[in-house]
Amino acid sequence: MNPFQKFVSESARVFQNGKKLPRGSCKTTARAKISPAAPTTLLFSPHPDDECIIGGLALRLRREAEWNVINVAVTLGGEKKRQVPRLRELKNACGFLGFALIGTGLENINLEAREKNPARWQTAVGLIARILTGYRPRAIFLPHEADGHPTHVGVHFLVLDALINLPHDFECFVVETEFWGQLTKPNLLVESGVEDVADLVAALACHAGEVRRNPYHARLPAWMLDNVRRGAEIVGVHGGAAPDFTFGTIYRLRKWSRSRLADILKNGKYLSRSENAAGLFR
């Protein structure tokens, strides 16, 4: 008798049951009052739903550090007839997590557009630059340069182009995220607790039209489980002891300073739930 038969069987049962849970049922929660002096972080999301998938650290900043977390919806997806419903779903997801939301109205953000339509691209760059200068964020989140989806890669270069256009003294922390393509040199693994992961899944389920065709909300806990396996080796030391995390998200943390990205972590960092996430950004 294989001693892992029950373990795998139970894992499959939990996933199948997760697919059956209600979609689009989350309700906006009252946002805790944010101090005018609270730091701001901007999540540059290529599509509605990315704010939930990579949102482990942002949610911790909102809850334990009381930061003002603002999701910047760079696009609403490429399917025109779905854009209005996706915006409605996005508002529900952000409301549930306590994130503010701003839209850009941008479309076709990818490297092909950057190369073939430079005038239109520069208009988009200018919009992102105005958002950055208007909010003066302590930190920003954006996909890394090889995140596997054309829009994710496009958003990376859109935000970097905007940063390059800002004054030389503009500074902020930069958190690069992964989903479709893995970071090759991450330096940060952030632990999430069961309550946070459950809320990320519930918020992701608010994107009902998307998870109806592909129940990736129910797979999010498994992805975050596997992040700990991978992060233990590529964020930490190969062959070293893994952190005692159940769920985690992998990032690359750097700082934009003097018009360039600068490394700030000498070694990889495991951020446990016992530490305040704001300590990363001092």
Q: Per residue in 199-231, pLDDT tens?
A: 999 999 999 999 999 999 999 999 999 999 999
1: in domain: no
Given a contact cutoff of 8 angstroms between Cβ atoms, the answer to whether 44 and 147 are in contact is: no
What DSSP designation does 279 have? G
pLDDT at position 213 is 92
Across residues 133-156, what is the average pLDDT? 98
2: in domain: no
126's tokens? 């200018």
* pLDDT bucket at 111, cuts 50 / 70 / 90: very high
Percentage of the chain exceeding pLDDT 90 = 90
pLDDT at position 33 is 80
What DSSP designation does 65 have? S
Give the CATH number for residue 218: 3.40.50.10320
Which alpha helices (DSSP H) does 47-146 contain, by range? 50-53, 56-64, 80-97, 111-116, 118-135
Q: What DSSP string runs through 138-203?
A: SEEEEE-TT-SSHHHHHHHHHHHHHHHTS-TT--EEEEEE-SSS--SS--EEEEE-HHHHHHHHHH
107: in domain: yes
Query: Residue 23 pLDDT more than 90?
Result: no
143: in domain: yes
120: in domain: yes
* pLDDT bucket at 58, cuts 50 / 70 / 90: very high
What DSSP designation does 22 have? -
Domain enclosing residue 187, as ranges: 18-24+38-276
8: in domain: no
Given a contact cutoff of 8 angstroms between Cβ atoms, the answer to whether 109 and 233 are in contact is: no
Across residues 65-74, what is the average pLDDT? 97
What DSSP designation does 46 have? S
> What is the SS3 assignment for 272?
coil
Q: What is the pLDDT of residues 167-177, one digit of tens each?
A: 999 999 999 99
> Which residue in the block uniquely carries the two structure tokens 């902020």?
172
Q: Which among 149, 37, 150, 58 is positioned nearest to 100, based on CA atoms?
A: 58
112: in domain: yes
| Three-point CA angle 88, 158, 234, nearest 5° | 95
Average pLDDT, the chain: 95
Query: Residue 25 pLDDT more than 80?
Result: no
- Beta bridge mates, 42: 70, 140
When divided into structural domains, the chain yields a total of: 1
> What is the SS3 assignment for 237?
coil
263: in domain: yes
Strands 247-257, 68-73: pairing kind: unpaired
